[in-house]
Structure 1
Amino acid sequence: MSDQAGRHAAQGDNAVPPHASAPGSPAGSTSDSADEAFARPGGVDGGFAPHDSPPSYTPPPPTASPAERAVFGRPADAGSFAPAPGERLRPQPHVEAPVPRVFSETFGAPADARDGFAPAPGSRLAPSGRAPQSPWWKPDARRDPWRDPAAPFWLGRGAIFTRGAPAQLDPDEDTLADDDLDAGAGDTDDAEDLEQDRTVRRVRFGVPTIVATLVIALVAGVIGGGVGWFITDHSNDALHRPDASIAQVQTPVKRPSGSVAGVAKRVGPAVVSIAVKTPSEFAIGSGVVIDSHGDVLTNNHVVASAAGVKNASIVVTFSNEATAKAQIVGRDPTSDLAVIKVPDQQLTVASLGDSSKIAVGDQVLAIGSPLGLQGTVTEGIVSALNRPVKAESDNGTSAYLSAIQTDAPINPGNSGGALVNSSGAVIGINSAGRFSTSDPSGDQIPISGIGYAIPINHARDIATQLIRTGKVDHAAIGAQGVTALAGLQVGAYVKQVSPGGPAAKAGLQPGDVVVVADRMTVQTFDQLVVIVQQHKPGDRIQVTYYRGSDKRTTTVTLGKG
């Protein structure tokens, strides 16, 4: 290293960082005390101070019980299972068992054999005997009579035995030669027969013979046909009797005025069939004539597809097969009701009853046009009242109904028809039927005997508003929710409250569970909506609800939906 480089190195070793204090500065003592705290201890050359040696490992005492050691332990007089050093035995060669004598004599090598079954070198025997011969020619062929064409032998009958040895017949006695002569004679006879056949006279059929044959066939056909007709006619006469008659009993039928037939006869003309046709859809429903001005009450989902659609038509068919075009007066999707108007000529008006007077078990009739079958009448009873039902239509709208449940069959096409009591009064408008339900796996299970109708008292109020103004004002609570099924708090779970709406003003909040409304128990959110719709905007109803475990009561002033 040069002097200059050494000076630079010395200078570099003693250089002070820009942020450190130079030696002799006031802060030098503080820096030295800090370095002493982190300096390497004395007597330590490596990067780390020596560690204390770990404590020696002492195995834990055996966990086997004395009883286990007595059964499974090493015997008292036995040493280690492993042999002591130097006591290992040398490996012994494996000695195969000798082969039984009977097998060695039968399958073993001969006594004079070497290297197994092979004979000793040079001990193979040279082949001896006659050389291979041709199978087609032998040395004694000249003496073989079957190969000598000049041999005085021929093919004839079988050889005979003479004195115990076969012998050949003499040619003169061999019958085969005679047979050959007989065969030649037969050929001559055949030639003579052929020549004789050529002299036979040929017969020809002329026109008279053909005509006679046709006449005979015709006469036979006529006779056969006549016989067949005679037999068939007489056999049919044996099955038929021209003077036969079936007796009829003239028994008068007495039908009470309240019978199914009597009610259907009176109410049937007031129920019409409605056909709705649009450029993309065709639907059939039913309706009830409710006044003499041609107003027909039906379901909204029956005529909704024709509302505001160009080239749509609504055709009403009456019980006497007369038809008329109808126009929509007004629709209410919330209640699934609508009113259409037809010409007011010769109309049969239905008698509207009081749905508040009916009871479970009353006999009822459902009249309508299921599947387009006009004037169909089905019978049943009132199964339940005030049944909350959410009816969804094909166009996605939903209607909440406080329905009459009946087991009278209500099928597609019955919608808008009449539910009639035993006196012939209309007590409901058929609206929906339940045809299937889902099992836990999601499969559809068919069901029957469940139909729903809108009570006529509610339907009459909706129809009156539609006829007067073409629209309906419904009450609203201003809240959205679902059905709550959580322990004892079964009711309408409030998910959302409209700001400034009736529910918000009454103090309801999201998370509350409504259990009573207007003094009626609430078990589903649909039931709460149905209770609200039974009122008018401005009505006040009392609501009981749970907020957590705290039970509260408030009064809600219903708004306009």
Structure 2
Amino acid sequence: MGADDIDETAAGGSDGGQRRSQPDDSPFSRENAAATGGVTPPGDTQSGDTQRGDTQPGDAHTSDGAAARGQQRHVPVSPATAQVFGRPAGVRGSFATTPSSSGPAPQIAPPDAVLAEAFGRPEGSDETLQRDPLAAYGVSTDEPAPADPWRDPESIASLDAPALVDEAARQPTVAGPKLGVKDLLFGKRVTWYALATLAVLALLIGLVGGLIGRFTAEVAAPLNSNTVKLSTGDGGDGGGEPKSAVARVAKAVEKSVVSVDVRTASAYGTGSGFVIDSAGYILTNNHVISMAANDRSAKLEVVFSDRNRVPARIVGRDIHTDLAVLKVDNVANLTVAKIGNSDNLQIGEEVIAFGSPLGLDRTVTSGIVSATHRAVPLPPDAESDTDAVIDAIQTDAAINPGNSGGPLVNESAEVVGINTAIASGAGGSIGLGFAIPISQAIPIAQSLIRDGKVNHPQIGVSASSVRNDRVLGAGVRNVVADGPAAQAGVKENDVITSFNGRSIESADELTVAVRTTKIGERVPFTYWRDGRTFNGSITTASD
């Protein structure tokens, strides 16, 4: 074997002739040697063939057949090159060996048991934390784990039985037998001092209850008594003279007041009236008897204070003043009402109202005169054909439906008005009652008794109320040709502000002012035209 047959294994007697095959990536492998000019580290003996990696110790030579198998030969290396690039003496591998240490080898402590249980691999599992290199990125190859609500953050929280349940707790509790008196006293299940305590407590409760009952019974007085004798006053026999003014007036007037009943096949109405003449004439309101006047089959009756019911007939009625006169026949000993003078009424004067409010006959209420000359319109409705404006007396005496036609009397027992209307929000009296002045009603009644009809004064205009920042009064809308107003120079759109000395603030007030005059009477008046005020006189005519 020549110098050019350098083997890949190190030579020398120190290694016992053992040769090691070099890995393919060794810088002194056969391929690398060819690439670098066939440089072989010094000290390696080269046989006639390339040694295999499975060479065993003791193989110091090769056979001639082996030399024939290795046809490739290395390039000769000069001694200088081998000295520079060859393997140092005593080095068996391709790289320097790790120096041996004479100290003790480091010992790796076993992991903490708690940490190993928390972060270690489960027992019996061979899974690693590495991803399968053949798996696609972002796609897990792990088998889906079974659902575990304790580890699923999206699981719904719910109350359930505990994971660990005491088997003894699952057994249903069975109530024991109830204690009887015998068990309680002689069964030795209750101690003697507990029984003594219960006995003392029961005794105390009974004692306290008895004391409370005893003292309570002594304090409470009996509800019934056979020694009480009630007494009455000595002035209530009714036979003496009435002590109050209202009582005296009521006693003097009550027999002249009547109830007026109207019955038809489908309706029933009640009003009031009073006797104005001993011949049987009775004065009432037109709206009380208008149903009987318009229905010949209606039954009209008058009921006196002694409950005597008498048929009545209509003498005459006036829808423009809401007055009517009735007549009864064959009634003896009629009490005629005393007629007063309503022109002398004072505001604040006491008055008494009579009638049958809500069908309650012989009712008396009292109040005062709240105002006079109050223009109150009475338009027609489904039950009455009355179409009037009355110059009313206002009173706070209670007047309700059924009082209509009854007398309004002063303290002298004189009739000063006829109860006619109320102002009410819900059908009841609220202290605003209105009565026709008797001084205006008597002439109408006289005309009805005499002629059966009534003529009224008029001035030949139609008007409406005017209220603005320039004028307040009754605005003329139409003027009858050659009528009293036309002859007095009144034109359309004039505003009448005064009539016969009475201030006019509305069309209703003009109506009642004209009605209070006499037919053919010449009266002064004031009117407004185009911002100027004019005075004139006008003569009323019959309607």
Give TM-score, length-normalised by structure 2.
0.58
Q: Secondary structure at the match of 2:338?
A: coil
- Choose which of 333, 339, 354 in structure 1 pairs with 2:319: 333
Tell me which amino acid in the other structure corresponds to 2:499. A
Instruction: Give a deviation string over 1:56-78, Cα, whole Å, max 9, x none.
Output: xxxxxxxxxxxxxxxxxxxxxxx
- Matches of 1:504 and 1:418, distance apart in 2: 40
In structure 1, the partner of 2:265 is 279
Instruction: Give a deviation string over 1:151-171, Cα, whole Å, max 9, x none.
Output: xxxxxxxxxxxxxxxxxxxxx
In structure 2, the partner of 1:392 is 379
- Choose which of 469, 472, 478 in structure 2 pairs with 1:496: 478
Kindly indicate whether residue 419 of structure 2 is the aligned counterpart of residue 419 of structure 1: no
- Choose which of 400, 405, 430 in structure 1 pairs with 2:394: 405
Is the contact made by 2:257 and 2:354 (CA closer than 8 Å) also made in structure 1?
A: yes
Q: Secondary structure at the match of 1:528?
A: helix
Q: Secondary structure at the match of 1:307?
A: helix
Q: Secondary structure at the match of 1:112?
A: coil
Kindly indicate whether residue 438 of structure 2 is the aligned counterpart of residue 456 of structure 1: yes
Change (3 A) 1:319 1:119: closer
In structure 2, the partner of 1:372 is 359
Tell me which amino acid in the other structure corresponds to 1:421. N
Alignment of 1:409-488 (within 5 A): 409-436=398-425, 448-488=430-470
Kindly indicate whether residue 100 of structure 2 is the aligned counterpart of residue 116 of structure 1: no
Q: Secondary structure at the match of 1:459?
A: helix
In structure 2, the partner of 1:132 is none
Change (3 A) 1:114 1:249: same
Instruction: Give a deviation string over 1:89-133, Cα, whole Å, max 9, x none.
Output: xxxxxxxxxxxxxxxxxxx9827244225589xxx99xxxxxxxx
- Matches of 2:140 and 2:357, distance apart in 1: 108
Give TM-score, length-normalised by structure 1.
0.56
Is the contact made by 1:426 and 1:456 (CA closer than 8 Å) also made in structure 2?
A: yes
- Choose which of 239, 246, 251 in structure 1 pairs with 2:230: 246
Alignment of 1:196-207 (within 5 A): none
Tell me which amino acid in the other structure corresponds to 2:391. S
Larger deviation, residues 301-310 vs 239-248: 239-248
Alpha-carbon shift at residue 338 of structure 1 (Å)? 0.4
Is the contact made by 2:399 and 2:429 (CA closer than 8 Å) also made in structure 1?
A: no
Alpha-carbon shift at residue 265 of structure 1 (Å)? 0.9
Percent identical among aligned pairs is 42
In structure 2, the partner of 1:526 is 508
Alpha-carbon shift at residue 280 of structure 1 (Å)? 3.4
Tell me which amino acid in the other structure corresponds to 1:370. P
Is the contact made by 1:506 and 1:554 (CA closer than 8 Å) also made in structure 2?
A: yes
Kindly indicate whether residue 247 of structure 2 is the aligned counterpart of residue 261 of structure 1: yes
Between structures 1 and 2, the one with greater helix share: 1
Instruction: Give a deviation string over 1:427-458, Cα, whole Å, max 9, x none.
Output: 1111111112xxxxxxx898711111111111
Q: Secondary structure at the match of 1:290?
A: strand
Is the contact made by 1:109 and 1:117 (CA closer than 8 Å) also made in structure 2?
A: no
Tell me which amino acid in the other structure corresponds to 1:318. F
Alpha-carbon shift at residue 499 of structure 1 (Å)? 2.3
In structure 2, the partner of 1:301 is 287
Alpha-carbon shift at residue 474 of structure 1 (Å)? 0.3
Alpha-carbon shift at residue 305 of structure 1 (Å)? 1.1
Change (3 A) 1:114 1:257: closer
Alignment of 1:147-158 (within 5 A): none
Alpha-carbon shift at residue 479 of structure 1 (Å)? 1.2
Tell me which amino acid in the other structure corresponds to 1:246. L
Change (3 A) 1:117 1:375: same
Instruction: Give a deviation string over 1:337-373, Cα, whole Å, max 9, x none.
Output: 0000012422111000111121001110000000110
Change (3 A) 1:279 1:548: farther
- Matches of 1:297 and 1:543, distance apart in 2: 34
Is the contact made by 1:389 and 1:526 (CA closer than 8 Å) also made in structure 2?
A: yes
Is the contact made by 2:527 and 2:534 (CA closer than 8 Å) also made in structure 1?
A: yes
- Matches of 1:539 and 1:249, distance apart in 2: 61
Is the contact made by 2:319 and 2:385 (CA closer than 8 Å) also made in structure 1?
A: no
Is the contact made by 2:398 and 2:429 (CA closer than 8 Å) also made in structure 1?
A: no
Is the contact made by 1:275 and 1:282 (CA closer than 8 Å) also made in structure 2?
A: yes
